[in-house]
Amino acid sequence: MADREMLDRAFEAIMRQMVETGQAPHYTELAKQLGLSVEDGRQVLHDLIDTGIPAWLHPDTDYIVSFPPFNNMPTQYRITVDGEQKWFAQ
């Protein structure tokens, strides 16, 4: 299990990208942002999800589906800020 500081950094990196782009990062992007190997980035992602936050991966994959309050897949809950709609809510 990754240490708390690394989990905090991973959470912040994912949230930052969701806010900026409307899309969650792939674990390879996360690894690069955190200065980790690809496999370590994948493991940190799984460790973060395993903490019990209300986020989840698509079953049997490493793809982020939902990261509160955002959803990476389109839902009927659209978020619009200053006339721009690039986010979906859980």
Q: Give me the helix-helix angle, 27-34 and 4-21, nearest 10°.
A: 120
Q: What is the pLDDT of residues 4-56, one digit of tens each?
A: 999 999 999 999 999 999 999 999 999 999 999 999 999 999 999 999 999 99
pLDDT score of 90 more than 90: no
CATH of the domain at 66: 1.10.10
Q: How confident is the model at residue 2 (pLDDT cuts 50, 70, 90)?
A: confident
Helix (H, G, I), strand (E, B) or coil at 70: strand
**Residue 50 is encoded by which pair of tokens?**
């395993």
C-alpha–C-alpha distance, residues 58 and 2, integer Å: 21
The pTM is what? 0.91
Domain count, the chain: 1
Residue with tokens 């690039």: 86
**DSSP element (H, E) containing 57:** strand 56-57
Task: Find residue 56's DSSP bridge partners.
Answer: 66
Domain range for 65: 4-89
C-alpha–C-alpha distance, residues 36 and 72, integer Å: 23
C-alpha–C-alpha distance, residues 12 and 50, integer Å: 16
